[in-house]
Structure 1
Amino acid sequence: MLIQPRRISFAAVLRIAAGLLLLLACAFGYAAQGSAGHDPGRRAGAVVNRLPDWRENTAEVRVVRRELQPLIIAAMATLDAPRRQEILDGKGAIAVIYPDIGEPYRSIFSKIIEGIQEQAKVQISTYPVGPNSNAGDLSAQLVRGGVKVVIALGRQGLKAVSGLTPEIAVVVGGVLSVPESESRNLTGISLTPDPALLFALLKRLLPSIKRVTVVYDPQHNDWLIKLAREAAKAQGLELVTREAHDLASAAHLYDAAFAVADSRQDAIWLPQDATTVDDETILPLVLKESWSRGLPVFSSSFLHVKKGVMFALYPNNLGLGRDLASSALGVLSGESRKRGVSPLREVLTAVNLRTASHIGLNLDYQQQRSFDFIFPEP
């Protein structure tokens, strides 16, 4: 008995061929742009990801793909071998590991992942992990998927990748800090705003400020204070640092700082530090003294603005995702990696108008528009 070959509709052939021809045009065009400094592999990969039909394993696709395969290979020959194979396989070389957690944190991580996908423009694999996730199983999945770089988000994401094979590079994000012993082998971006941005905004709003005092726990924020000293010097500020290892000593140091402060030239900086900026004990004490003395206090935490701090910087989650993707793409392209965790530079700004007015800072409409969040809300 003769087996009749399956008929392929002319419309189907046209649909698939059109997609493939678009792919070829883009691959050749982007490859030609490579000499001008563009990334042809990433852009061609983005085109393929938007044309899923050509990778389907139906009879229609197999016939058309077989006919046009020489042209596809010719186009891909202009790309470097790893990128070419990645595109032809349809595999994502970047994976995102993030905590499988409820709101409001789920939305935060979703926005970071959105930024990663937007910037990467290649297929991204995502893996939610819980407290009891098996690191060995995860590592095997990543290897099977051809993953070369992992973006680990949050503490759970960082914990989940601790046992990965050394061949898979790790970029970390969505954490406040990483112990120095661990950060030496990682590349990443903290959720802690860059002190340089905080001090620049302080000087823009209050040019008369000459001295900033910060109370911190060196176990958590020694790395940040090192950066802050350089940032303060660049702004012509004197940075007075006071170390505290518990709440009692932190409270005593804040009392001492307010006792000698001059509201015309002093300010207090509240870093993200669980030891020295406790919301139940320290924050009310600092806000009370700030209000009674007319002394400006600024923070690295958005929530403090609602409670009475003059201004704060907080994460732009979409922008953070883009920066993490750029770091991952840099690793993929063979760029030398800067080891360690960097402070956050993709930030949004918040201001408390009532507190600003109380210390004599009256922001006009144009100045108010430069902030992303204003409290009390108009």
Structure 2
Amino acid sequence: MPNLSRTFISQLLMLLLLAGVASLGYAEAPRVVVLYPENVQRATFVQIIEGIKERLGDAVVARPLEKNVDTIALQSWLAEQSEPLVIALGRRATQVARDINQKRLIIGAITHPSGELRYVAGVSIYPSPESLFSWLRALAPHITDVSVVYTTDELEWLIRLAERAASRHGFTLTSVHAEDARAAALFYRSFFETSQHRNHALWLLERPAQPIFHSILENAWRNRGVVLSNRASDVQRGALLTVYSKPVDIGRRIAEVAVPFLSRPPALRQGDANNRITPQTGGTPLVNSRTVKRLGLHLPAQLRQEIEFLFP
């Protein structure tokens, strides 16, 4: 359950920071330009932008990116916007921001950044390991171990967070950095051959290839194994748990990350490329009701009121 006092304090600090922008010698708050792709996910990006605007107000200008965007024209347009702070949503927008060498950049609505991208801060769409492991402990208190495999260095930041979260919630985390998808597939096969499934959960950090994914769910069902994921679609198909943030909440989170950079003049923002990225915080636990029954999990009435069930 959310900590109301912490939420209130966070909102109060945000209001104070936004109010302090006017004291920096600007006639108005620095503009914020949100870049987002015009594609099949447009409706989701629009909801994210609504969350950003809810927190940052009139300082926000949204700029859609067509498929064949003119990067020279975009770069010229940004130069006319009085040194804006740029928020890039999704993989396509972050690639465009990289192509135009946009350094005053916040990235959002992606799983993880690419290694060559420079940015001042970022917000992943992945749930925080803290939230995920907290709900795993509540749903399946018999679990003692969690295993995860990943194939890209750009997820090291999330693994470090997961190690700390696992320790706080009493799990032993085994993380394996596989060289490629083939090595990851071998890991999944060995997991079901060697682990004690009743006490050992598998965390799907990256989505494996479809045949491997089906094999994981089949083995988990047969052996009554617990699978948690970063994606709601995996829970729909049979994984036990994920933690989901609505698009508007993702936007609010991005705005919270952006606030400190709004209160600094452009000269200071240029030196802030510390490659910082954070996961989603809070969110709603999504649970597969059929999997709960298969695992024989007993969920108290109060716990049931706090989670959202997905039915296959």
Q: TM-score, normalised by structure 1?
A: 0.71
Shift in alpha-carbon separation, 1:162–1:362, aligned structure 2, 3 A: same
Q: Secondary structure at the match of 1:192?
A: strand
Residue aligning to 2:9: none
User: Which of 77, 94, 98 is equivalent to 2:36?
Assistant: 98
Structure 1 residue 262: deviation in Å?
A: 2.0
Q: RMSD between aligned alpha carbons?
A: 2.6
Q: 1:161 aligns with which of 74, 97, 107?
A: 97
Matched, 1:240 2:182: no
Aligned to 2:309: 374
The reply to whether residue 80 of structure 1 matches residue 23 of structure 2 is yes
What is the CA deviation profile of residues 7-59 of structure 1, one whole-angstrom value per residue up to 9, with x for unaligned ones? Answer: xxxxxxxxxxxxxxxxxxxxxxxxxxx9x9474367xxxxxxxxxxxxxxxxx
Distance in 2 (CA, whole Å) between partners of 1:127 and 1:365 is 46
> How far apart, CA to CA, are the structure 2 residues paired with 1:40 and 1:212?
44
**8 A Cα contact 1:218 1:243, kept in partner:** yes
Matched to 2:92, the amino acid is Q
- Cα shift at 1:355: 0.5
- Indicate if the aligned counterparts of 1:314 and 1:349 stay in contact, CA closer than 8 A: yes
Contact 1:94–1:328 under 8 Å retained in 2:
no
Q: Does 1:175 align with 2:121?
A: no
Query: What per-residue deviation string (whole Å, max 9, x for no partner) do you get for residues 198-237 of structure 1?
Result: 1111111122211111122134533322222222122221
Match of 1:326 in 2: 256
Which shows bigger deviation, 361-370 or 283-292? 361-370
1:150 aligns with 2:86: yes
2:269 aligned with 1:339: no
Shift of the 227–330 alpha-carbon distance from structure 1 to 2, 3 Å rule, reads: same
* Within-5 A mapping of 1:64-79: 79=22
Would the aligned equivalents of 2:17 and 2:260 in 1 still touch at CA under 8 Å? Answer: no
1:315 aligns with 2:245: yes
Residues in 2 aligned to 1:248 and 1:41: alpha-carbon distance in whole angstroms: 52
| Distance apart, 1:327 and its partner CA | 2.3
Deviation string, structure 1 residues 220-260 (Cα, Å, up to 9, x no partner): 53332222222212222111123333444323222211222
Q: 1:128 aligns with which of 56, 61, 64?
A: 64
Q: Distance in 1 between matches of 2:283 and 2:71?
A: 32
Residue in structure 1 matching 2:196, options 246, 252, 262: 262
Gaps of 5+ in 1: 1-33, 43-78
Judged with a 3 Å threshold, the aligned counterparts in structure 2 of structure 1 residues 237 and 186 are, in CA distance, closer, same or farther, namely same
- Structure 2 distance, partners of 1:263, 1:344, is 28
Alpha carbons of structure 1 residues 269 and 142: separation in structure 2 relative to 1, 3 Å: same
Q: Which has the higher contact order (CA 8 A, sep 6+)?
A: 2
3-state SS, counterpart of residue 80 of structure 1? helix
Other structure's SS at 2:239 match: coil
| Equivalent position amino acid for 1:214 in 2 | V
Task: Give the 4+ runs in structure 1 shifted more than 6 A.
Answer: none
Whether the aligned pair in 2 keeps the contact of 1:148 and 1:332 (CA below 8 Å) is no
The structure-2 alpha-carbon separation of the partners of 1:160 and 1:262, relative to structure 1 and needing over 3 Å to count, comes to same
Identity %: 27
Q: How far off its partner does 1:346 sit?
A: 4.6
In structure 2, what residue type is equivalent to 1:179?
S
TM-score normalised over the length of structure 2: 0.85
